[in-house]
Amino acid sequence: MQSSKGKTGEEEVPLLQRVPSIKGSESGGDHLEGEDLWMRIWIESKKLWHIVGPAIFSRLSSFSMNVITQAFAGHIGDLELASLSIANNVLIGFSFGLLLGMASGLETLCGQAFGAKKYHMMGIYMQRSWIVLFLCSVLLLPMYVFATPFLKWIGEPDDVAEQAGLVSLWLIPLHFSFAFLFPLQRFLQCQLKTAVIAWVSLVGLIVHVFVSWLFVYGLKLGLFGASVTLNFSWWILVFGLLVYTTCGGCPLTWSGFSLQAFSGLWEFLKLSAAAGVMLCLENWYYRILVLMAGSLKNAKIAVDALSICYLSCAIVICQIDYRVRVANELGAGNGKGAKFATIVSVVTSTIIGLIFFVLIMIFHSKFAILFTSSKDVMTSIDKLAILFALAVLLNSVQPVLSGVAVGSGWQKFVAFINLGCYYIVGLPIGCLLGWFFNLGVEGIWSGMIGGTGIQTLILAIIVIRCDWENEARKATIQVKIWAKEDDADSENQIT
């Protein structure tokens, strides 16, 4: 039964459903010691894993689809693996990074709105995100249509460029799925409905494995079959989450399609663009490194090795969505809660990174067999083991700090940091080591680690010096302003 506030959707629902609150986090407790401190850590960890546990699984499932596709292509041949790697890591990677980044603006809006109990705003925000991301997807289409001449122009081998250009045309439906999937995921994550994302991802992964085997080995469709399975599987994710959202799964935050979504698009676009620039600069950075490897000697082997390391690194890191906790606490006006959530999440991610660091060093010569049958590629990956392990450890902390920035609404500021660290420091160092000092793939990967390390250090300093109470006050005021503007737009449309 709806309360008297049903018109605005401000029903009294706990901020974290079925998860106990942190005692004293709103009123103080920064200097708790002993059992009280450990109890706070335990409760905050439960809150974090309530969000990130299913999120990790869904992210693993999504990345596993790409890994499975590349594994099928790798066992077809080196050319097929290299061409699919280029199409997937460069073309799909560029649109993936931009659209994922633009969708992350929804985490700031929906996360803070949910924390402030302005539930009715969340469905409108998601529809605005659909509109903005779909239009952006249309603008990116020429990148797929003219992929072959572009890849040749930047120095990719002709056979790889021709094959990758063909694959890019087959992957256009996958490109458009991002515009709808990413907003749906963020919409559900911000209201802590993460279990449904995990279940839908599991279904998509199972279907992807079966369809990949059927197309590649059963119907013997080769590279075409391996590529188009991604379209099929990702659209299953879209329709699964859409059915859940629109058929009663989100009664507080989804009230149907509304023309109100077409109002305020410019302001929404500005926030989405800032978030898109921030995260896509980071995402494109790694993809560009794969592209650079195409200009090295033995380009196919270099591209294969670097793309496999990148995919494995992405799976291990998963960019865990701690940002939702920060956005929820800030929207609720709880600066101390946001600060404590940040501390616990950084420590947790560091521990996870150390575990995977050890595992990679132990099995450094074994995991490449999952992706390729080429002994040359396996040897190249084995040489990258220590750099790969360091990248995983470093990137266990960096995504959490970036997530804090998204949850706090600092996208525009962090975009400048990413631009400087990645493209003024990291890429030039990678080029210098890779070509001038003839270190090849190892040099390129070292440059990547250098840029990421500096960015992580800067973000850490910013987070340590952050005035969380002031950030909470700003978030609360901003949510009220957004709510008033949307209510005014709604009244104008009615009249």
Residue 25's pLDDT band (boundaries 50, 70, 90)? very low
Above 70 in pLDDT, residue 116?
yes
- Give pLDDT, residue 200: 94
Rounded to the nearest 5°, which phi and psi values hold at 102?
-65, -35
- Spatial contact of 478 and 112, defined as CB atoms under 8 Å apart: yes
Closest by Cα among 183, 107, 118 to 405: 107
What does the pLDDT look like over 396-428, one tens digit per residue? 787 778 777 766 667 777 878 888 888 899 888
Tell me which H or E stretch contains 431.
helix 427-431
The least confident of 11-15, 64-68, 114-118, 221-225 is: 11-15
Cα radius of gyration rounded to whole Å, the chain: 23
Residue 494's pLDDT band (boundaries 50, 70, 90)? very low
Place of tokens 């010691």: 33
Measured CA to CA, the distance from residue 420 to residue 450 in angstroms comes to 12
- Give pLDDT, residue 287: 66
Torsion of the alpha carbons at 207, 212, 213 and 214, rounded to the nearest 10? 80
Across 419-436, b (16+ Cβ under 10 Å) vs e yields ebbbeebbbebbbebbee
Cβ neighbourhood burial of 143 (10 Å; 0-12, 13-18, 19+): middle
- Give pLDDT, residue 372: 63
- Spatial contact of 395 and 320, defined as CB atoms under 8 Å apart: no
pTM of the model: 0.72
- Spatial contact of 394 and 452, defined as CB atoms under 8 Å apart: yes
Percent of the chain with pLDDT over 90: 13
Reading the block at residue 481, the tokens are: 């302003």
Residue 322's pLDDT band (boundaries 50, 70, 90)? low
Above 80 in pLDDT, residue 317?
no
Closest by Cα among 251, 375, 402 to 318: 402
- Spatial contact of 293 and 160, defined as CB atoms under 8 Å apart: no
Reading the block at residue 295, the tokens are: 């200009």
Count of residues in the chain? 495
- Spatial contact of 63 and 209, defined as CB atoms under 8 Å apart: no
Across the range 90-111, mean pLDDT stands at 80
The angle formed by the CA atoms of residues 166, 170 and 171, to the nearest 5 degrees, is: 115
- Give pLDDT, residue 17: 39
Residue 34's pLDDT band (boundaries 50, 70, 90)? low
Closest by Cα among 206, 204, 201 to 185: 201
Above 80 in pLDDT, residue 28?
no
Q: What is the distance of C-alpha 43 from the center of its chain?
A: 26
What does the pLDDT look like over 195-218, one tens digit per residue? 899 999 999 999 999 998 998 888
Across the range 73-81, mean pLDDT stands at 77
Contact residues for 151 (Cβ-Cβ < 8 A; gap 6+) = 86, 90, 160, 161, 164, 165
What does the pLDDT look like over 120-159, one tens digit per residue? 889 999 999 999 999 999 999 998 989 889 888 877 788 8
Residue 75's pLDDT band (boundaries 50, 70, 90)? confident
Percent of the chain as helix, strand, coil, to the nearest 5:
80, 0, 20
Closest by Cα among 462, 460, 464, 463 to 452: 460
Above 90 in pLDDT, residue 184?
yes
Across the range 53-66, mean pLDDT stands at 79
Residue 23's pLDDT band (boundaries 50, 70, 90)? very low
- Give pLDDT, residue 187: 92
Query: Would you kindly state where each structural domain of the chain is located, as residue ranges?
Result: 53-490
The least confident of 31-35, 108-112, 234-238, 248-252 is: 31-35
What does the pLDDT look like over 284-313, one tens digit per residue? 776 676 666 666 666 666 666 666 666 555
Tell me which H or E stretch contains 165.
helix 158-170
Mean pLDDT taken over the chain: 77
Closest by Cα among 415, 142, 457 to 282: 415
Rounded to the nearest 5°, which phi and psi values hold at 271?
-70, -40
- Give pLDDT, residue 86: 79
- Spatial contact of 140 and 220, defined as CB atoms under 8 Å apart: no
Percent of the chain with pLDDT over 70: 78
Place of tokens 């050319």: 79
Above 90 in pLDDT, residue 176?
yes
Above 80 in pLDDT, residue 476?
no
